[in-house]
Structures are given as structure tokens and as C-alpha cells.
A and B are shown apart, each in its own frame.
Chain A
Amino acid sequence: MNRRRRLLAGALALSTALGLAACGEEEKAASFDTITVMTRLFGTAPDPNGEMQQAIQKLIGKKLDITWVPNADYGDKLNVTLASNNIPDVLVADEKAPAFVQAATAGAFWDLTGKLDKYPNLKAADERTALNSSINGKIYGIYRVRPVLRSAVMLRKDWLAKLGLQEPQSVDDLYNVAKAFTEQDPDGNGKKDTYGLIIPKWPGNYASSSPYDTIETWFGAPNGWGERNGKLVQGFDTEEFYTANRWLKKWVDEGLVNKDFATLDSANWNDAFVQGKGGIIIDVNVRGTDLSVRMKEKDPKSFDKVTMVGNLKRSDGQKFSLPFTGYNNVLAISKQRVRTEEQLDDVLTTLDKLQSKEGSALLTNGIDGRNYKLEDGKAVLINQDDPAVKVVQNDVDKAFIQIGTRASVGLGQYPFKFPDESTQKLFDLRDTLMNEDLKTAVYNPALPVIAPTLVSKGQTLNLIIPDARLKYLSGQITEEQLRAEVKRWYESGGTEVTQETNDLVSKLPK
């Protein structure tokens, strides 16, 4: 037997055992001295007795028992946890994942609709985003806010300069840049060994903010769902979708894209850029800073090689920008141990403390005077050579920031001040680009709803389109076959999904 199947067998066995055991178990209404939490992790798990956790526990006056789950495995672990009888009190969850929807609607999590207003730091900063994070209008968790417009294009600045090119403003400009990056030897080594765009295979579903989705939006396709003739249709059922993919296919055919795009793991996305093999990345603007930091690691003397532009115009001058959902997952509160309204109030009050100005700064910036200090209201990193401080910094960046609901948009924490000018400029550029692109943002009107058929059949439906798109781009199927796959989506349950989504959206509060 192998590990994965054992995991499945084990999960089933465990759920059996626990399911039986649960019947006789009655939790006493106790006050919460310890709150159990499960959340995402991007590095190594922090020490429960480490400085950061101590500081947070001191602030909220309670103990935290945190299960840190590596980001890549989070979806799996969430499903297994939901199947067990050991759901943490507070859980970071993708509130649209079928297993979560089923659990929440069956009553496994607190319905927080209308309950958050009395907690100043948990109250939704934006009603629309709160609605987007709901399950058909019911709020089952406190959304973790993120900037609404994060899509951007990162480019090799030094390559542009060497070839005498301007920063692209339209999709045609981008094509020309990619062509020049491929054919005109931007790294000057005399060999034709570079290419334009770097894209990885995308782990997510259709309309999950992939580079493919971004490009389709530029061409005017809806962001997920969009209105056509008074009805909501899926973005992939529009001509703009095909136009965009035809355009991108040309890039692939001409070798302007990394050859292994269909198999490149997104964990290795940066490598080709930093190694000087490719020169364009379409992703969230945070990647710009990320790339700049990596460039600096590689060459501390001359690393000012990254620039960034926002969403691009279509050939006819019209511009459409891809906004994100404005949040990333929610903090849901389990009913398993948090049984009464008083207990819920206790947990929410604690979370409110955690998300206060002070708490947000702690979760996002770290410990004042230990790993950062304030300078004109901005956080400047200090003592970074001290190994103990490095641990604190890592715990913040890779772990604790994930239990904050107000991180990364300046609602609570202090903005960063970078030690070098170019990274700072790139960081500041984000806001400018975002405010500009917000004017042309294409919103997804169906975000607050989830069709019942998608909950029951999403497993088989969700892969059809992203797989077909990749196959079309890599030349394994023709456009006719791509259209046939869209038809297959409708036949496998998509027709019901479309009908239900339309119905549900029409019932939403306007």
C-alpha cells in the first residue's frame, strides 16, 4: 500500500471511529482558555513557545493551539479535517470548496450573518466583499482582506532598455516585447536562448486568477461569470475567450512562451526570470517585489532589473482589468466545541483583539523594536542578522500573517519601508497601478453564490475547461475540439450550473 491511499483509508477509518465516538461525547460549557486554529503555512512551522506566539498570546490573553498546514496541501488537509471529528475552533477555509459548503450548510460552522457588526475590528470593511465571501448570501466566516486589483505584468527592465523598448501599454505592445525578448538576444550573449513570457501550469480551476484568466479579461471576456443578453454566462462561453486564446496560442507557436508551460510547477515560476531565460511574468503585483528581492540575492550590486505595468489595453484601445475577489479565504468558527452564543462571543471578542491595530501590526510586521522599528509611520526591518530575530521575521512572513484578516492592505499594520530604492519604488508602484486599473475592473457578479450542482458535481466539472484550454494552447487539440469541450461542460452538468447561478444571483440583495 502506498502513502496516499493509506491516507484515504486512514481518513475513512478515522472518521468511522470518531463518528461513532462522537455520539456519547458531551462537551461542557467551559470558557475558552485555549483556542485551536488551523491555517496556511508558507515555510517551516513556528515554535509554539517562540517569541511571536508568546507575544500574541499575551495580547489576546488566551493560549493558541495552531495547526500549521503547508499551503500546497491546504485544500486536501481541509477536506480531511472536515471529515474528522476534530475541527479546530477557528479555521481558515475556502468557503466555496464543496466540502466546506456542505459542512457549513449542514450546520458545522456558525452563521455569522449580522453578528459581526458589534466587533469593531471584525466588522466588514466593505459590504460588497463581505457578500462575495458569503455562501448564497450567508456569511460563514470573516474574510481575509486582500487588495482588489492585484493583477500586473512584471518585465525585465534591463532587457527593455537594452533593446530600446517602451513599457507595454497594450496587448500588441506586449507581443512586440515578447518577440523582441525572444529574437533580439536581450541578454547579449550572442545566442538565441531567451523567450518572452513565463507561465506555469495553473493548479486552480477556471477563473482562479491565473495568467490565462488575466489575458482573457484583457480581451473583454467576463471574469468568471458575465452578463450577455441579460443572462449570466461563463467567461469561456464567449467569443472574447476564443480570441484571447487564439492570440496566446500564436505566442506558443512562435516560441515566445516557455516550452514546458503545461508542466512547469508554479513553485518554480520565478526561476527562469531570475536566471535570465525569460522576461515577462503575468501575475499578482506582489511577485514584482518578490522578483526584485530574488534579483538582489543573486546580485547585490546590480539588481534593479524588474519593472511592472498594470493591465493592458486591447488592440482597439479598450481596457479591461482583472480584479480579484478582494479577499482570500475566510476564518470560520466551528460549532463542534464553540457551542453556545456566549462561547461564540468569547471567541469573536478574542479574534477582535487579534485583528485590532495592535494585533494586525503584530501579525503582519512583527514585534516592535525586535525585528522592526517605526520610522515616519513606516516599518523598517532591523537586527536582521541576528538569528533569533530572523526566526521572528520568518514566523511573521511565512506563518502568522495568515491568521490576520486585515493584512496586506494597510487596514491595521504599518506599511513597509524597503532598504533599497528600486524595491521601494516597485512597492509604491502597486498602489498607483491598482488605482488606475480599478477604473476598468471587470467584476464577477456571481461571486456570492455557489450553484448546488457545482457542490455535488464540481469535482468532475471543474477540470474540463482548464485542461482543454491548456491542450488547445499546446496544440494538442484544435479550436473546434476546444468548443466541443465547452459543450461537454454543459452536458456534464454545466447547463444546470448556469441555470442555478442565474437564479441565485437574481435573488441576491442588490
Chain B
Amino acid sequence: MDGHGLVERLRRVVGDRWLLLDEHDLRTYESDGLLQYQQVPRLAVLPGTGDEVRECVAACAAAGVPWVARGAGSGLSGGALPIKDGVLIVLSRLNRILEVDLDNGRICVEPGVTNAAVSAAVAPDFFYPPDPSSQIVCTIGGNVAENSGGAHCFKYGFTTNYVTGLEVVLADGEQVTIGGKALDTPGYDLLGAFVGSEGTLGVATKIWLRVVPVPEATRTLVAFFDSTRQAGEAVSAIVQAGIVPGAIEMMDATTIRATEEMAHAGYPVGRGAALLVELDGAEAECDAQFAQVTAICAEQGSDDVRVSRDEAERQLFWKTRKAAFPAMGRISPNYFVQDGVVPRTTLPDVLVRIDELAAEYGLVVANVFHAGDGNLHPLVCFDAAVEGQAARAEELAGRILDVCLEAGGSITGEHGVGVDKRKHMGKMFAEADLAAFQRLRCAFDPDGQANPGKVMPTPRLCGEVPGVYRQHPLEAAGLAERF
């Protein structure tokens, strides 16, 4: 790579201080939030402005060297995993809030601004709804790349519903502005195509977002049930009544036990499921619907419905929910977080199926998830010290995805495909579907320099002629259907 003077060119762009060549410094970046994959990059640059990003990408393009953009590195699918002989472009220095325009409900930020900082910048009257649990550290650039969501997605939508404009550096070093501050820029919705593209279509260097007024009222309850089936049916009944809660989160028995040990919220250890329901919106409507939700939980078999009496208690409910991942460390030395989605009505059956699989593998699977949109996060527990257990756990995690697909769902609801789920893409999509994805990829990055090796199951070249559709074995077996 030095043959083209790349290192010198990058040094001229960012200066010595922000060019990392030393193995020791580079170790910081060897993985993202998914620790199973590690790779030290050849070098890392930390540009300080969008123009510097453009120059860095142009330098890589001239040298024919692939690169990976990195935000906070909190991704859970290995999306920011470096390439051995590639450049890592770290965006943490692009952390300025460029404009706040509340009359138009907009904020313009650089990609390295954290998700939480966006809401803070428009508080107290406005907020930015997509709220991944990692919001204190994850960056807006990473959110755009992953189309991140959070507990509030069911009602408020995802990152893609809030991005109105992007300044993007394409793999050839061109800088373009897609969309803008206003909605409906005429032409193809390249914005919609870019959001969720996992860093494979370019680097976002400036981002315009919609923000919305903070709801007038919030009402929160936790209801306990004997089984996840009962709780799942309560979720369906609530939604069927025409109520769209701000959040509906479910925890199973294992999770209740683990979180109670840590958060001490007084949750009844031994119960089969806890359902956290939060309504928000106009005060009057919120109150009317909250009474309905409380009644529905009782009808569906909950004899223990706890309504938060004040903000402190509401925070405790949420703290308990958010403690679920860290708490699992107390009952198991290691665990994988899976991220699959199923149609909400299939939740009760899918949860039973996951229990059966866990028994078959002799492992514990705890479930805590966004029940409103059927986004499961099974925590597959294992002990890495026991020979072969990690491999079995990984296999089980994969089997759970098969269950999600059989139920008509998806292999990822918010963590992305990255390197981790490439191998599962062929189960969800047929060859012609993948070929259509490749057409988009090639339009943006014909030389495949932006985050190669992620998302697509097998490396492809842009010269290849996409094939026509052939029936997938899963379809032939009647397991999957093209709608």
C-alpha cells in the first residue's frame, strides 16, 4: 500500500497525530461490540472534518486500498471490523452539532455525535426518537449505517424515518448531498437506500435529522404473567384494541431472576414473564388508553399489574429492563446476543420453539425483547471454559434464526448483517434478490472499496451479470415463501 505513497498522502491530510500506524495504538480498533471477530487494520486515520474524510477516501481510491468507516465501534454484527490490509477511518472527531432549527423540527450534525447528544441538543421541548440502548456511546453515523432502532420504534419508527439529508463521501472520493433539510427531494430515494447500508455505500459526513416534540404525558406499567405465551397474547390484545404504545418490552423468567438480583426492583422471581408497557402522547388520550391496557393485562391473566407512581419508579422499571444484558453475566460466564424478528402473532409459538431448542442443546436461553415489533434478543448462555460449548451455543443461535425465518421473520431487526450474519443472508434471500442488492452496491461503489466483505454472503464483482431467479431450496421444501 505504501507503494502509492498512501501513508504520506494521509499524513498530509490529517497530520502525524491523527494517523495511527503503531500496532499497539491500532489494537484499540481491532473489533467492534462483537468481540468474536478481531482484526488489526494496517493503519487508522482520524480526520477532523468532512473535507478531510473526502481527502482520505480519495487517497485510498487512488491507491486502490479498501477502507472501513468506524463510529463508536458499538456495533454488534462486526460491521466496523477492520480489513487486514485496509484503512480504518475513525469518525469520532467529527462531533459537532452544526445547526438546531426547532421551528422546522431539524438538527444538522456531524456523524461522530452520539445519539444521546442529539436529544440533549434539542431538549427540553424536543427529542430524537430512535434510541438504541447504546445511545450514550453510539454515533449518529453508526445509527445511519445500521438503521438503528430502540424501545420506541414500534410507535416512532427507526433511523430511516428521521434522516432527511446526508452529505456522503462515495468510494471514488466524490462528495454528494443526498436529500437535505426539506423532505421529498425529487428523484430516486437514495437516502432510503443509504440508511442501513452498513458502511458499504460510502461515508456519511453530515446528517440532517427530524426531531419531534416531547410527548405531553407518559404512563408506565409492569405486568407479570405465568408464561411468555400469556404475556404475548396480552401484547396482541393491546395492539388489536388499536393502541400503539410508546414501548412494549418483555422479559422471561430467566431474565426476571437475573435482573432482580442486580436491580432489586422487587420483581417476583419465579414468574413466567414481565411485560413493560409505556404509553405516551396527549394526556387525555394517554389516560383513557392506559385504563384500557391495565384492564387488558388483567383479562389476559395478569394478577400483578404495577403502575409507576412517579418518575423515580418509572426509571426503576426501565433500569430493570436495561439491566437485562449486564445481569445475564451473573448467571452465565458468557452469552451471545441474537437479534431476530418474527411476526408478533407468532411470538408465543416461537418462544416455545426456542425453549425446545435450548433443551435440545442443553443450554440456557434467556429472552428479553421488543415485543411490539417482534424483535427478539435471545441471550444464548454458555461457558467458554467448557470444551465445545461456545461452538454449540453459536450453532443454537443460528438455529434460532431458522425458527425466525420459518415464522416469516428476519435474521436481523437492528444489529445488522455485518460479517456475522453474511452466511445467513442466503436463507432469507434468493439469488436474484442478492443480485439486486449487488446492483445497488455497484452503482455506488463499482470497485468494492467501501467496507468489503460485509453484508453480502459471497464476494462479488460488479462486472458479473446478475442471474435470473431460481427457486431456493427452502422454498422447494415449503419452508419459505416469496411474497
Do A and B interact? no
